[in-house]
Structure formats: C-alpha cells, structure tokens
Amino acid sequence: MSTSIPHDPVGWHGTTILCVRRAGVVAMAGDGQVSLGNTVVKGNARKVRRIGVGGGVLAGFAGATADAFTLLERLEAKLERFPGQLERACVELAKDWRTDRYLRRLEAMMAVADRERSFTLTGNGDVLEPEDGVIAIGSGGNFALSAARALMTVDGLGAEEIARRAMKIAADICVYTNYNVIVETIG
C-alpha cells in the first residue's frame, strides 16, 4: 500500500518547470503538457507567468491548476503588500499556505524568481533558495535539474539556452513533459 505525501512533486504528473540563473539573466521555462491519468488533455498550457509590478517576477507552477492559480493570486497580493521584497512575500505566502485551513489543502508547488533571487515554495512551509542558481519542480523536474546542472559547466551558454536544452532533455525522458516549452527571461 502506498501513501502520498500532500506536497510531494514526485506524485504529480503533468509538468516540468525549470529556472536557471546565469550571468545576470534568469530564465524560467515550463512545458505545455497537461495530463489526466495517462491521457494528454492539453499540450500548450502556459505554466510560467510574469507577475508583480511591471512583470518583474517570474512564477512557474506544478500541481493542480486551480490550486496553482489560487497561489499565484495570493503571491501577487503579497508582492503588492511588500513591493520589491520577493523573499518576504514568499515567506508570508508560505506561512499562510501552511496555517490557513483552506490553503493547506492546495496541491501545488511554485518556482519564483526576480532579478536577484530564486525560490521554491511548497505547502510544507518551505521557501528554498538554490545554491547553484537552478530550480526545477514537477514530474520532469529532476531530469531538467540534472541536465541544467550539467549544462552550467559549458562555457558560452546563457540562461535561456541552458533552460531550453535542459527542457528538451527532460521531455526526451519524462512522459509527462512535452516539447512545447515557454520561456520567460529577466535581465
């Protein structure tokens, strides 16, 4: 008998989000596949968005779509309350997400980034900043993360090119990730 951990991205099938930070540029990529069980129901979903004042924050989500949109709205409200303070907005959202009876049930994860910092947010109250400038979430996240880390060692590749190549590798391996990739950049 298997049990599911509520905010465990391994159990979520249907997305790959990758955020790469290199040489003053941050690129966030998301595939377009939405799956229901073993069926692809949509191939061109937009899972990476610009939010905040002037679109200065990139946000990508994995998990239940309605839950993710609820969290995106809440993060935007936090960014309005704490302009220019991505970390504080993320911590405030994570506190609400963990303690609010309604939000606690949401099944999603988020990757967010601005010009200076990148974070992974979970319903467990985590606000995690990567050591190496690379974040990946979703069912193909570990594939994309591994590929991006390897590509970071290649001189001459920018953040967007690393993100695109790593997402292709993830799509080659993960059946829940497709080649319809949307990339947003800052910097």
Q: Is 15 designated active site?
A: yes
Which of 15, 16, 120, 122 does the annotation list as catalytic? 15
Long-range contacts of 97-103 (CB under 8 A, 24+ apart): 97/71, 97/121, 97/123, 97/125, 98/123, 98/124, 98/125, 103/70, 103/71, 103/74
Q: Distance (Å, rounded) from C-alpha 130 to C-alpha 117?
A: 9
Q: Residue 69: what residue type?
A: F
Q: Distance (Å, rounded) from C-alpha 130 to C-alpha 79?
A: 21
Q: Distance (Å, rounded) from C-alpha 107 to C-alpha 9?
A: 9
Query: What residues are annotated to the active site?
Result: 15
